[in-house]
């Protein structure tokens, strides 16, 4: 349904666009013709005498420009809302005017398409009703009109269209209309244009007779004409059928000297004839009279008839003679006919055997220096019109081609932008998934009390931490890992939903004669949930090897403990850039043998040995780099998803002051805290870093 609606809206938009472009263009190439039409309308409203010519001419150009621009804006879907509203408003006005001309018939042709397409008033009304309906459709759904050009490049189309149409109007005013749709175009034979073909429809007339008898007056037609007792008073004849009207029906020339009709003489002349056409010599441009006189001299030399054809009075003809020294003969013709023949005052016509072979505006008269031979030997004597095809090619090259290139370039650019956006959205989505995953994996702050605090102090600290965090819920999981002797007592004072409990170690044996050792089972029985394994201090001072740690890991997991597994390199190893290698070996040696299910109970703590308890902290970038590396090797082993779900902590001189910076890194999921976990305030300060 919505596809159908979009199709309908765009069809309406296309109809409007093409109609407006065509009507604007044909008006623009013939500004004088459009002006004459506006004057016809003004005359029908009895306003002609109040409106000066410059207003009607400016109005003609403005009208052409408005229609052409609206058409272009519609076509390219520029300012869709505004343009569709404006078009509808314009169509309302146009339709009302055509209702008026349909009813009152003040003008024969609406002039919508200049001389290019002539419509009857009925056809114009129908056309405008269709266009009004189309405009309303576009106004109701302006955003359904798909853009042909991106918003950022619309100004190019807008300015280019406006400049093009104004330049076209001005050029055609200076020269002549580029396309001549009138019956007097180059190549037209005037004599042929006046012929009425055999069998053509004849006009029909009806005469009404007004007769009188015994003081009574009545009207009769030929069909019911009464007897001779009725006395004739008057008769009226009206035309009831138009009949065939030849394209040229008003070409008649009268010699001003003799008063003779010289139409036949001119049209029957074999060879060339110059006609200088001036609808009004009073308003004719006299700036080129020198050239005109030279052309007359040339015509005289080669015995070519030359007439000035005008609709002017004798007074104006004499004034022109005085002004320009014109010696050529003058003849008169109908003013409208002269306006139709050439849109220039004066303008020059060259006929050959009654065919128009050349037409020049007074601004572009033939170059007199080239008039050195009879016309048949010169370009002037050949038909000078370029032909419609070559004119269309010129329009194509000057207007359509640049616009088409622009549109294609714009569409390619818009398409590549769309692809880039799509790719960005895709990567944003992946990043979002990654971020969500990060949100999904546990953020942890774990304390490692090491061998500090007696039982009472330990319990007191545990209580304090518990109270503080119960009162102000942390944004992460909190674990405190205590010496064995604290575990059972601390378990009593902790709310393990808020603060979980862990041991710092467990034995690598299940049970038995291992004096001084504490098994994983024992740890679990205290209520602890976690155990730290692989801490560097245990590796260093108690020589816990990868194999021993592997045993401990297995036993801890077997007893339901979760493991904070530590790894990290010495300063020498880092200096030798062996940190990745060392960490990988530690993980491979003790935890990478686990299956995926068991892996879910592993939290990794990266603790560079050189940073533990030394006050030297790895920079957040160093830590991030290593944690990203650990995640990548976890991904290699357990897959991307498992890696994204594994919490990896940083440990080594982490404090409340550097925790926010460290925790802001995407791969750092929290910290394993030694020294700073021995005071509630310090520890809480680190926990609160997750709130920042």
**Burial of 119 by CB count in 10 Å (0-12 exposed, 13-18 middle, 19+ buried)?**
middle
Nearer Cβ to ligand PEP (71/652) = 652
Q: Does 346 bind ligand PEP (CB under 6 A)?
A: no
Contact with ligand PEP (CB under 6 A) among 19, 121, 128, 653: 653
Contact with ligand PEP (CB under 6 A) among 281, 349, 582, 612: 612
Closest contact distance (angstroms) between CB of 521 and ligand PEP is 25
Closest contact distance (angstroms) between CB of 532 and ligand PEP is 8
Q: Does 673 bind ligand PEP (CB under 6 A)?
A: yes
**Which letter does DSSP use for residue 222 in this model?**
S
Reduce the secondary structure of 394-432 to three states and give it as a string: HHHHHHHHHHHHHHHHHHHHHHHHHHHHHHHHHHHHHHH
Q: Does 623 bind ligand PEP (CB under 6 A)?
A: no
The tokens of 575 are what? Answer: 């200096």
Q: Does 448 bind ligand PEP (CB under 6 A)?
A: yes
Closest contact distance (angstroms) between CB of 536 and ligand PEP is 8
DSSP-assigned letters across all residues of 605-658: EE--GGGTTTS----HHHHHHHHHHHHHHHHHHH-HHHHHH--EEEESS--TTT
Q: Does 672 bind ligand PEP (CB under 6 A)?
A: yes
Q: Does 609 bind ligand PEP (CB under 6 A)?
A: no
Contact with ligand PEP (CB under 6 A) among 445, 480, 654, 689: 654
Closest contact distance (angstroms) between CB of 610 and ligand PEP is 10
Residue 403 makes CB contacts below 8 A (sequence gap 6+) with: 157, 160
Q: Does 31 bind ligand PEP (CB under 6 A)?
A: no
Selection from 69, 89, 80, 73 nearest residue 145 by Cα: 80
Report yes or no: 484 and 518 within 8 Å, Cβ to Cβ.
Answer: yes
Residue closest to ligand PEP (Cβ):
674
Q: Does 544 bind ligand PEP (CB under 6 A)?
A: no
Stretch that binds ligand PEP, among 283-291, 298-306, 356-364, 674-682 (CB under 6 A): 674-682
DSSP-assigned letters across all residues of 418-469: HHHHHHHHHHHHHHHHHHHHHHHSPPEEEEE--S---HHHHHHHHHHHHHHH
Where residue 383 falls (left for φ over 0; alpha for ψ -120 to 50; beta otherwise) is beta
Nearer Cβ to ligand PEP (594/672) = 672
Largest CA distance in the chain: 160
Q: Does 477 bind ligand PEP (CB under 6 A)?
A: no
Q: What angle do CA 62, 65, 68 make, to 5 degrees?
A: 150
Instruction: Indicate the SS3 state at residue 546.
Output: helix
CA distances to 385, 393, 396 from 389, rounded to whole Å, are: 11, 6, 10
Q: Which helix (H) or strand (E) holds 135?
A: helix 121-140
Closest contact distance (angstroms) between CB of 483 and ligand PEP is 13
d(CA 261, CA 121): 35
Q: Does 71 bind ligand PEP (CB under 6 A)?
A: no
Query: CB neighbours (10 Å) of residue 269?
Result: 16
Q: Does 345 bind ligand PEP (CB under 6 A)?
A: no
Closest contact distance (angstroms) between CB of 454 and ligand PEP is 19
Closest contact distance (angstroms) between CB of 152 and ligand PEP is 55
Q: Does 616 bind ligand PEP (CB under 6 A)?
A: no
| Cross-strand pairs, 490 | none
Nearer Cβ to ligand PEP (161/647) = 647
Nearer Cβ to ligand PEP (128/653) = 653
Describe the strand order of the beta sheet including 216-220 as a list of residue ranges.
216-220, 204-213, 231-241
| Residue 351 CB-half CA count within 13 A | 24
Nearer Cβ to ligand PEP (68/650) = 650
What is the set of active-site residues? 535, 607
Q: Does 111 bind ligand PEP (CB under 6 A)?
A: no
Q: Does 670 bind ligand PEP (CB under 6 A)?
A: no
Contact with ligand PEP (CB under 6 A) among 544, 607, 624, 669: 607
Nearer Cβ to ligand PEP (347/534) = 534
Nearer Cβ to ligand PEP (375/651) = 651
Contact with ligand PEP (CB under 6 A) among 474, 483, 652, 670: 652
Q: Does 586 bind ligand PEP (CB under 6 A)?
A: no
Residue count at the site for ligand PEP (CB under 6 A)? 13
The tokens of 638 are what? Answer: 């357990």
Selection from 498, 493, 553, 563 nearest residue 530 by Cα: 563
Nearer Cβ to ligand PEP (324/647) = 647
Q: Does 675 bind ligand PEP (CB under 6 A)?
A: yes
Length of the chain: 692
Closest contact distance (angstroms) between CB of 640 and ligand PEP is 28
Report yes or no: 570 and 610 within 8 Å, Cβ to Cβ.
Answer: yes
Stretch that binds ligand PEP, among 27-35, 144-152, 219-227, 606-614 (CB under 6 A): 606-614
Q: What are phi and psi of 241, to 5 degrees?
A: -140, 135
Closest contact distance (angstroms) between CB of 464 and ligand PEP is 19
Closest contact distance (angstroms) between CB of 569 and ligand PEP is 14
Binding site for ligand PEP (CB under 6 A): 448, 607, 612-613, 651-654, 672-676
């Amino acid at each position: 349904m919505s596809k159908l609606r979009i199709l309908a809206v765009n069809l309406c938009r296309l109809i409007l666009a093409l109609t407006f472009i065509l009507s604007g263009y044909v008006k623009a190439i013939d500004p004088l013709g459009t002006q004459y039409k506006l004057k016809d309308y003004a005359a029908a409203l009895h306003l002609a005498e109040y409106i000066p010519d410059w207003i009607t001419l400016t109005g003609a150009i403005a009208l052409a420009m408005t229609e052409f621009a609206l058409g272009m804006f519609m076509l390219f879907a520029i300012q869709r809302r505004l343009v569709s509203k404006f078009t509808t408003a314009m169509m309302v006005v146009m339709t009302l005017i055509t209702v008026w001309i349909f009813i009152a018939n003040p003008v024969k042709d609406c002039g919508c398409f200049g001389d290019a397409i002539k419509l009857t008033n009925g056809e114009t009304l129908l056309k405008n009703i269709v266009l009004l309906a189309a405009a309303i459709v576009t106004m109701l759904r302006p955003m359904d009109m798909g853009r042909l050009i991106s918003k950022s490049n619309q100004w190019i189309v807008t300015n280019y269209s406006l400049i093009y149409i104004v330049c076209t109007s001005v050029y055609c005013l200076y020269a002549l209309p580029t396309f001549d749709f009138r019956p007097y175009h180059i190549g037209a034979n005037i004599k042929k244009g006046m012929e009425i073909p055999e069998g053509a429809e004849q006009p029909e007339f009806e005469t009404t007779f007004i007769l009188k008898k015994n003081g009574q007056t009545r009207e009769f037609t030929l069909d019911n004409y009464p007897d001779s007792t009725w006395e004739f008073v008057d008769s009226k004849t009206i035309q009831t059928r138009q009949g065939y009207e030849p394209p040229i029906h008003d070409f008649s020339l009268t010699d001003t000297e003799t008063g003779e009709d010289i139409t036949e003489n001119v049209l029957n002349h074999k060879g060339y004839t110059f006609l200088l056409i001036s609808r009004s010599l009073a308003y004719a441009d006299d700036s080129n009279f020198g050239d005109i006189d030279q052309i007359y001299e040339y015509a005289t030399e080669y015995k070519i008839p030359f007439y000035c054809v005008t609709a002017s009075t004798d007074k104006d003809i004499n004034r022109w003679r005085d002004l320009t020294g014109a010696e050529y003969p003058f003849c008169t013709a109908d003013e409208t006919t002269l306006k139709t023949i050439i849109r220039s005052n004066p303008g020059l016509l060259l006929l050959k055997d009654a065919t128009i072979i050349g037409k020049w505006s007074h601004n572009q008269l033939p170059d007199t220096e080239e008039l050195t031979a009879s016309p048949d030997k010169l370009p002037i004597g050949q038909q000078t019109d370029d032909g419609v095809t070559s004119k269309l090619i010129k329009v194509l090259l000057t207007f359509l081609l640049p616009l088409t290139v622009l549109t294609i370039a714009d569409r390619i650019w818009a398409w590549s932008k769309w692809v880039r956006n799509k790719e960005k959205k895709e990567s944003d989505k992946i990043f979002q998934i990654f971020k969500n995953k990060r949100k999904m994996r546990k953020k942890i702050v774990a304390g490692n009390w090491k061998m500090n605090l007696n039982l009472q102090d330990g319990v007191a600290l545990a209580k304090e931490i518990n109270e503080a965090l119960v009162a102000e819920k942390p944004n992460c999981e909190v674990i405190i890992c205590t010496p064995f002797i604290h575990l059972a007592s601390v378990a009593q004072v902790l709310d393990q939903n808020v603060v979980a409990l862990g041991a710092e170690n467990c034995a690598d044996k299940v049970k038995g004669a291992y004096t001084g050792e504490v098994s994983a089972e024992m740890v679990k029985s205290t209520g602890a949930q976690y155990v730290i394994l692989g801490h560097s201090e245990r590796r260093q001072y108690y020589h816990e090897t990868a194999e021993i740690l592997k045993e401990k890991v297995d036993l801890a997991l077997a007893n339901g403990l979760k493991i904070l597994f530590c790894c990290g390199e010495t300063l020498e190893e880092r200096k030798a850039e062996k940190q990745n290698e060392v960490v990988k070996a530690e993980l491979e040696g003790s935890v990478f043998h686990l299956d995926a299910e068991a892996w879910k109970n592993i939290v990794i703590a990266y603790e560079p040995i050189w940073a533990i308890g030394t006050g030297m902290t790895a920079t957040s970038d160093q830590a991030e780099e290593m944690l990203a590396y650990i995640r990548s090797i976890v991904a290699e082993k357990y897959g991307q998803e498992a890696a994204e779900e594994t919490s990896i902590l940083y440990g080594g001189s982490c404090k409340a002051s550097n925790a926010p910076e460290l925790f802001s890194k995407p791969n750092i999921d929290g910290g394993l805290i030694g020294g700073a976990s021995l005071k509630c305030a310090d520890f809480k300060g680190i926990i609160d870093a997750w709130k920042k």
